[in-house]
Amino acid sequence: MAMAPVFLVLFIQDDILLRGLSLVVFAVAAITDYFDGYYARRYQIESEFGIFLDPLADKFLTFAGFVCLPFLDPSQFPWWAVALIVIRDAGITSLRIFAKRRDIILQTRVTAKAKTAMQMGFLYVALLFGFFQLFGGAFGEFVRNVFEMDIFFWGMMAVTAVTVYSGIEYLVVNKDLFNKPASK
């Protein structure tokens, strides 16, 4: 969680070295998060606090990545789309916490898994292109031209649509959760 703001501050700089360093911070945070979860499950050293904190750390890093995108080009990565993604993910995380307090475990939906894969794939590509756009010469010009083709805009719209849909699906499938009395 501590690496997310470091990544964010480094990435929004228009300095090729700092933006490159931000990608290293992002990658280290993602890799250490993966191994942390892997070893906790493998050696059965999970704790209630870790189970709560791990998805929260994932969200912080993902949110930081999406918040960086409008700084690259707000016409390709509109703030409203970032807000919808953040609101959906924060809302479903809150729903999971609410359900857990009622001793109910929400099963991860297939669309939510697809949403996560789509978000991560899109985010990694967009962040890399954001780094590459600082390059000079023909390569940098090529990357800047890609931004002008609205490819990232339509990708962002697809990611936002799938994200919102999966959030609505969680609410519809789990509507009875709001009618059940809290367990003691």
Report the number of distinct structural domains present in the chain: 1
Token output for 161 = 């649509």
Tens of pLDDT, residue by residue over 104-148, are: 878 888 998 899 899 999 999 999 999 999 999 999 999 999 999
What confidence tier does 164 reach under pLDDT thresholds 50, 70, 90? very high
72 pLDDT above the threshold of 80: yes
Is residue 74 situated within a structural domain?
Answer: yes
Buried b (16+ CB within 10 A) or exposed e, 69-89: bbebbeebbbeebbebbbebb
Q: Which helix (H) or strand (E) holds 11?
A: helix 3-11
DSSP 179: T
H and E: helices and strands count for the chain: 7, 0
Return the higher-pLDDT residue of 151 and 51: 151
Residue 183 lies inside a defined structural domain of this protein? no
- Is the predicted pLDDT of residue 49 greater than 90, yes or no? no
pLDDT at 183: 55
For residues 14 and 71, is the Cβ–Cβ distance under 8 A? no
pLDDT at 51: 65
Q: Calculate the alpha carbon distances from 150 to 37, 76, 145, 147, 154 in Å.
A: 36, 6, 9, 6, 6
Domain of residue 20 covers 3-178
Per DSSP (E only), the strands in 8-144 are: none
Instruction: List the CATH number of the domain containing 111.
Output: 1.20.120
pLDDT at 178: 76
184 belongs to a structural domain: no
Distances (CA, A) of 180 to 77, 103, 108, 184: 39, 11, 20, 12
156: in domain: yes
User: Residues 6 or more apart from 75 whose CB is under 8 A from it?
Assistant: 153
Do 66 and 81 touch, CB atoms closer than 8 A?
Answer: no
Residue 182 confidence (pLDDT): 59
Query: What predicted TM-score, i.e. pTM, was given to this entire model?
Result: 0.85
